[in-house]
Structure 1
Amino acid sequence: MESIPSDIVLHEKTRAFLERNHTLFIGGEWLEPRSNRYFGTENPANGKELAQVALADEADVDLAVAAARKAFRQTWREEITPAMRSDLLYQLALLMERDRQVLMELETLENGKPLENAAYDVDSAISHFKYYAGWPTKFEGSGIPVDNQHMVYTRREPLGVVGLIVPWNFPLMIAVWKLAPALAAGNCCVLKPAEQTSLTALYLAELIKESGFPDGVYNVVTGPGFPTGEALTSHHGVDKISFTGSTPVGKEIMKTAAASNLKDVSLELGGKSANVIFADADMSKLSESLTWSSFYNTGQECTLGSRIFVHKSRYEEVVDMLSKGAGALKIGDGFHDSDLGPMISRQQQERVLNYIEQGIKQGGELIFDSKVSVPDEGYFMTPKVFVGVGDEQVLNREEIFGPVVTISSFEDNAEVLERANASEYALAAGVWTRDISLAHRFASELEAGTVWINGYDRFNAAVPFGGFKQSGIGKEMGRSAMHLYTREKAIWVAL
C-alpha cells in the first residue's frame, strides 16, 4: 500500500484489515452499500489513499435503524439481563486489550497522531467499557409517598435506538464515550464515524461480534454529513442523537431532530478555552503542562487552552516558556517518535492558515513560529503563538482547531474573569494559582463545563464532561451519561 511507508512494520491483523473490503456493519453482517458507492480515506501524513470505505445513503441508514429496532424489541431488552450486559461490555474491553496494538495503528494511520497518543486513546476507551460494565446492575428507581391510597415509584428505561455521530480528532475514544453508556443503559446503536476516520469503528464491530453481542445492537454506517449523517438525524426510527463536533453542525442537527420526530439530542461542541495564570502560579507545574495544553493533537482538540491569560508580572516568563516548549516539539509521521502529527486533511490545514492570515491582518503579532523541519508530504503545521490580539478579534473569538494560541496579560482578577467569560463557548478552562481560596472562587465564577486547577486536560470515565453556552448540551461520562441514554417513568398503583 503506497499510503504506508515501507519502513513501518504493522501488526498482521492491521494489514489484513486494511486489505479487506470496508463495507457497512448492519444487523451483525457486513453489507455492501445499496448504491455500491465508496469513498477514499487517506493517510494525512502523506496525503495518499489508505482505504476505500462504503458510502451509506438513506436506504442503508433505514436498514441499520430497522436492525437496531428489531434487536432492541426482540433480543436486547427481552432476553439479555442487566448482568449479561455487564459481562458483554467487560468481555469487549478484554478483546480491545488483546488487539490494543491494532487499534493504535489504525488510529495513527487514519488520524495521523503519534502512536503514543493513540495508545492513550485506546486505553481510555478500554477503561470506559470497564467502568460502564458496572452500571447495568446499578440502576435504581425510587418510591414516592404521595398518600395512603397509592403506591408511586419511578424507573429509568432505555430510550431505544440511538444515533451516535463522532468526530475525526479522537475517533475511537469519543465513539466509546457514547457507545459504552448507551449500551450499558440498554439501548441499541447506529454509529456514524467521521468520514476521515472510519476504520476503528469498523474494527470495533469485529470485536463486538466476537464478544457475543446480539446482532443489531451495534451498527456502523459510514459516510459524510450528507447523505449519511442527515439521514440518521432525520430518521423517525431514531430516539436520540448524540453528536460531537462543531457548533454550526450541532445547531443544524437540533433543527433536523426537532423537525423529524422531536428526538432527544445531546451535543458536545466547540471550545475556546481560557487558561488563566496568576502571579503566584507554580511555574514548575505550569512548565510541565503549558505546551501540551496549547498544542496537543496538533491543536485539534476542543478543550485546549487556546486563550492564555497571564498576570503582567509573569507575562514575559510565560511567553518564553511556551516558545521554548513549542520549539522543542518534533513534528512528523506518527510512527517515528514525533510529538505532533499532521493536520487531518488539506482542507483543515488551509482553514487554519486562513485564520492565521486573518489574525495578522487584524493586527495580531505572530511572535513565535516553530522553525522545526516538517515532512515534505502530508498536512503538517508548526505551532504558532500570537500576542496583541483583542478579545473580539477572530483568533480569540472562533475555534481554530489547529496549533495556534494567543497570550494576553492582565492586571486584576475582575478584568481577567470578564475576558475569560467573553466567549460564546464555555467548554473548559484552566486556573493556575497557589491561593486555594482564589482558585475555588475563580473556578466557581468561570463559565465553563470543566475547570482544571493547577493542571490541564484531565479526564476520567467517572467524571462528567460537557460544556455550557454554545459548547453543547448534556454531559458525557460518569452517572450523567447514563441519564443521557435513559428516560424516567413514573408509575402510579392504586391500592
Structure 2
Amino acid sequence: MLTKQNWVERAENVEVEWRAFIDGSYVEAQSGKTREKINPADGSVLANVADCEAADVDLAVAAARKAFESGEWAESGPRHRREVLVAFADLIVAHTEELALLITLDMGKPISDSIGEVGSSARAVRFYAEAIDKVAGQVMPTEPEFVTLVTKEAAGVAACITPWNYPLSQVCQKIAPALAVGNSVLLKPSERAPLVAIRLAALAAEAGIPAGVLNVLPGLGSTAGQAISLHMDVDKISFTGSTGVGKKLLQAAGQSNLKSVSLECGGKSPNIVHRDARGLEEVAKVAAEVAFVNQGEMCNAGTRLLVHEDIYDEFMGHLAAASQGWLPGDPLDPTAKTGAMVDAAHVAAVSSYVESGLSEGAKIVVGGKSEGNYFEPTIFEGVSNSMRIASEEIFGPVLSVIKYSSLDEAIRIANDTQYGLAAAIWTTDLHTAHSASRKLRAGVVYVNCYDVAEMSTPFGGFKQSGLGREKSLMAMEEFSETKSTWIKF
C-alpha cells in the first residue's frame, strides 16, 4: 500500500487533462473560456478547466447523433459491445491509483475511499457489460395470425448529468447502462469535480468505444446543463443532484421535445433505532458512519436519527464516542476516514445550517466547527422534525437526533418529509421489522443494516427524491425505448 508521502509526491507531479472530449478528441471550449479548479484540501490550483457552453453542447450533440445514426455502436452485436465494455472496466482497474488521486484532489475525499470508488466503478461497467446479452425481448400472446414481438431499443442521444460527491462511480453507474443498450452519451460532470470524468473519456476510447459515442462536457449547470436540457436533439436525460435542479430539468423537457428524464435527487433519510435493537454500541457505530462517511456528502445519508426514549441516554453515549472516529484528516493520508469538504462555498452552506439549528433551539452534542474546508462531525439533539436541520438536505456531516416514544410516532416522523430515498429500522422483532418496512415511504429500506448495495439491486426514491431507478437491469430500461412489432402471416 502506498504511504501518505507516496501520495503527496504523486500529487505534486500529477498531470491533469482539462479539455472537453468531443467526437473522439480532447478540445478546448469554443469560447476559449476556462474555470479555475481548486484543490479543496489546500487551496492550490489543480487546473483551468474548459468551460463549455451552448455552442459546445451543439457540437457534442451533433457528434453523438452522427455516431448513433451510423450504427457503428448502436447496431453492433451484443458480443462486441460486451467485449469493449469489459476492456473499459479492465482499463479502469489498471488505472486505479491515477483515477483515485484525481478524485481525492478534485473533491477532497480520503484516498482510501477514492480507491474503493474506482473499484466499484469498474464493477458497475463490468455488470452492464455482462448484462448486454442476458436481456431478451418477448413474444406476446396475440391472435394466431400474428407474431407480436416486444423489443428494447436504445433511446438515442442520452445525456448524463452527474454530481461531485462520487465523481467516478456516479458517472459509471449512468454511462455503463446507457452504452450497454447502444446509446450515444453526453456526460456533463459537476463543475465542482470534473477531472476524473475528463480522464475517463480517453480510457473509453482506448477500450474501443467509437468517436462520438461518449462525449464529456465540463461546464456550469446554468450554461452547459441548461443547453443540454433544452436541446431538441437530446432524447434522454439521467440526472443525479438536488431536487431543485431536478424540477428544472423536468420543466426543460416539457419546454423542448418531451425528452425522457430520470432523476436521483435529494434525501433526508430516517434511521430508526427501536427499543428492542440489539447491540446498541455497534448500531451507534453504523449510525455515525452513515451520517459522516464521505464528509456527509451522500444523498442517502442517515441524517435523521430517531431513537426510542427507553434507550436514548445509553445510545447517545455510544454515538458521541463513535463520532470521534470520523474527525477529518489529510485526504492523502491512507488512514484518514474523512477529508475536506468540496469547497469553501459548501462549508459556508453547512455552517449556516448549524447556526440555524442553534437558533431554532437544538443543542450541539458533538462538533459544530470548521477549519478551512474541514468540518467536524456534528450531532444535534433536542431536534424537532420541523427544524431546518431535520427537514432540509444539508449534505454535510450534520446529524439530527430525534427522541420518540412509540413505533407509530417514529413512522409518522420518518415519513413527514418531502423526500423518500432511504430509511432504516433497527429491531429484533420480526413483526416490527415487516410492519415498519412496509409503512416507510422510501425507495430503499434497510433492516438492521444501512447503506448496503449491490449492482444487482435497484436504487432510487419516492416523492421528491426522484423518478426511475439506477443500478440493476432496471437502469438499462431507463435508457431504452419499448417497441411492439406486429407481424401478420
How far apart are residue 131 of structure 1 and its match?
Answer: 0.7
Aligned counterparts of 1:78 and 1:123: Cα–Cα separation in 2: 27
Pairing partner for 1:289 from 286, 289, 300: 286
For the Cα contact (< 8 Å) 1:45–1:332, is it kept in 2? no
Give the residue type in structure 1 aligned to 2:343: S
How far apart are residue 78 of structure 1 and its match?
Answer: 5.8
Tell me which residue corresponds to 1:198.
194
Aligned counterparts of 1:395 and 1:226: Cα–Cα separation in 2: 27
Pairing partner for 1:346 from 326, 344, 347: 344
For the Cα contact (< 8 Å) 1:194–1:222, is it kept in 2? yes
Tell me which residue corresponds to 1:143.
139
For the Cα contact (< 8 Å) 2:23–2:60, is it kept in 1? yes
How far apart are residue 9 of structure 1 and its match?
Answer: 3.6
SS at structure 1 position matched to 2:90: helix
For the Cα contact (< 8 Å) 1:10–1:105, is it kept in 2? no
Aligned counterparts of 1:200 and 1:274: Cα–Cα separation in 2: 32
Task: Say if 1:143 and 1:54 are closer, same or farther in 2 by CA, change over 3 A.
Answer: same
Task: Say if 1:229 and 1:396 are closer, same or farther in 2 by CA, change over 3 A.
Answer: same
Sequence identity, in percent? 38
For the Cα contact (< 8 Å) 1:11–1:101, is it kept in 2? no
SS at structure 1 position matched to 2:319: helix
Task: Say if 1:415 and 1:6 are closer, same or farther in 2 by CA, change over 3 A.
Answer: closer
How far apart are residue 76 of structure 1 and its match?
Answer: 3.3
Structure 1: runs of 5 or more not aligned: none
Describe the superposition over 1:352-387 as per-residue Cα deviations: whole angstroms up to 9, x where unpaired. Answer: 11111111111111122278xx7x6x4111011111
1:277 aligns with 2:273: yes
Tell me which residue corresponds to 1:84.
80
Tell me which residue corresponds to 2:302.
305
How far apart are residue 437 of structure 1 and its match?
Answer: 2.6
Tell me which residue corresponds to 2:113.
117
Give the residue type in structure 1 aligned to 2:101: E
For the Cα contact (< 8 Å) 1:352–1:400, is it kept in 2? yes
Aligned counterparts of 1:175 and 1:257: Cα–Cα separation in 2: 21
Aligned counterparts of 2:325 and 2:473: Cα–Cα separation in 1: 40
Pairing partner for 1:448 from 442, 446, 460: 442
Tell me which residue corresponds to 2:318.
321
For the Cα contact (< 8 Å) 2:354–2:368, is it kept in 1? no
SS at structure 1 position matched to 2:306: strand
For the Cα contact (< 8 Å) 1:172–1:201, is it kept in 2? yes
How far apart are residue 120 of structure 1 and its match?
Answer: 1.6
Tell me which residue corresponds to 1:333.
330
Aligned counterparts of 1:73 and 1:467: Cα–Cα separation in 2: 34
Task: Say if 1:6 and 1:141 are closer, same or farther in 2 by CA, change over 3 A.
Answer: closer
Aligned counterparts of 1:78 and 1:205: Cα–Cα separation in 2: 18
Pairing partner for 1:187 from 180, 183, 186: 183
Aligned counterparts of 2:231 and 2:15: Cα–Cα separation in 1: 31
Pairing partner for 2:25 from 26, 29, 33: 29
Tell me which residue corresponds to 1:244.
240
Task: Say if 1:413 and 1:103 are closer, same or farther in 2 by CA, change over 3 A.
Answer: same
Which structure 2 residues correspond to residues 31-430 of structure 1 after superposition, within 5 A?
A: 31-77=27-73, 80-283=76-279, 284-336=281-333, 337-369=335-367, 378-430=372-424
Aligned counterparts of 1:7 and 1:244: Cα–Cα separation in 2: 34
How far apart are residue 400 of structure 1 and its match?
Answer: 0.7
Give the residue type in structure 1 aligned to 2:60: A
Structure 2: runs of 5 or more not aligned: none
For the Cα contact (< 8 Å) 2:24–2:205, is it kept in 1? yes
Aligned counterparts of 2:414 and 2:379: Cα–Cα separation in 1: 18
How far apart are residue 492 of structure 1 and its match?
Answer: 1.1
SS at structure 1 position matched to 2:239: strand
Task: Say if 1:288 and 1:396 are closer, same or farther in 2 by CA, change over 3 A.
Answer: closer
Aligned counterparts of 2:471 and 2:9: Cα–Cα separation in 1: 32
Aligned counterparts of 1:326 and 1:469: Cα–Cα separation in 2: 31
SS at structure 1 position matched to 2:289: helix
How far apart are residue 460 of structure 1 and its match?
Answer: 1.1
For the Cα contact (< 8 Å) 1:431–1:443, is it kept in 2? yes
Describe the superposition over 1:271-308 as per-residue Cα deviations: whole angstroms up to 9, x where unpaired. Answer: 00000001111225414412111111111111111000
How far apart are residue 73 of structure 1 and its match?
Answer: 1.1
SS at structure 1 position matched to 2:263: strand
Task: Say if 1:10 and 1:230 are closer, same or farther in 2 by CA, change over 3 A.
Answer: farther
If the length of structure 2 is used for normalisation, what is the TM-score?
0.96
Aligned counterparts of 1:370 and 1:474: Cα–Cα separation in 2: 36
How far apart are residue 139 of structure 1 and its match?
Answer: 2.4
If the length of structure 1 is used for normalisation, what is the TM-score?
0.95
**Once superposed, which parts of structure 1, at least 4 consecutive aligned residues long, lie more than 4 Å away?**
5-8
Aligned counterparts of 1:194 and 1:240: Cα–Cα separation in 2: 18
Task: Say if 1:415 and 1:79 are closer, same or farther in 2 by CA, change over 3 A.
Answer: closer
SS at structure 2 position matched to 1:302: coil
SS at structure 2 position matched to 1:327: helix
How far apart are residue 152 of structure 1 and its match?
Answer: 1.3
Aligned CA RMSD, in angstroms, stands at: 1.7
Describe the superposition over 1:65-124 as per-residue Cα deviations: whole angstroms up to 9, x where unpaired. Answer: 111111111143465211100001100111111110111111011110001111121111
1:463 aligns with 2:457: yes
Aligned counterparts of 1:16 and 1:315: Cα–Cα separation in 2: 49
Aligned counterparts of 2:391 and 2:124: Cα–Cα separation in 1: 33
How far apart are residue 404 of structure 1 and its match?
Answer: 0.7
Task: Say if 1:76 and 1:15 are closer, same or farther in 2 by CA, change over 3 A.
Answer: farther
For the Cα contact (< 8 Å) 1:300–1:401, is it kept in 2? yes
Give the residue type in structure 2 aligned to 1:29: S
Compare 276-285 and 189-198 and name the one that shifted more.
276-285
For the Cα contact (< 8 Å) 1:425–1:470, is it kept in 2? yes
Describe the superposition over 1:390-429 as per-residue Cα deviations: whole angstroms up to 9, x where unpaired. Answer: 1111111100111111111111111111110000000001
For the Cα contact (< 8 Å) 2:290–2:450, is it kept in 1? yes
Give the residue type in structure 2 aligned to 1:268: E
How far apart are residue 232 of structure 1 and its match?
Answer: 0.8
